[in-house]
Amino acid sequence: MIDAGLCLSCQHALLRPTNRGTTYLRCALAATDDRFAKYPRLPVTDCAGFEPGRSLQ
């Protein structure tokens, strides 16, 4: 797993595996708030939408 920064422990992060064997990290907040990128550039070190409580590691 690459270092995704805050996204790794954020409740809004979703993992999207592809059939090519790679995995994208999608931000669920992007669907309703255009301040957030659908596929954030990682690692995210500062984010207004960050909500801890989940671990993707």
Taking the complex as a whole, the smallest distance from the CB of residue 13 to ligand SF4 amounts, in Å, to 4
Nearest to ligand SF4 of 19, 34 (CB atom): 34
Residue 8 contacts ligand SF4 per CB under 6 A: no
For ligand SF4, the binding residues in 12-41 under the rule CB under 6 A are 12-13, 27, 29, 36, 40
Mapped onto helix, strand or coil, the DSSP state of residue 6 is: helix
> What's the CA gap between 57 and 54, in Å, rounded?
9
Q: Which is nearer to ligand SF4, 1 or 19 (CB)?
A: 1
Cα–Cα distances (Å) from 42 to 9, 30, in that order, read 13, 15
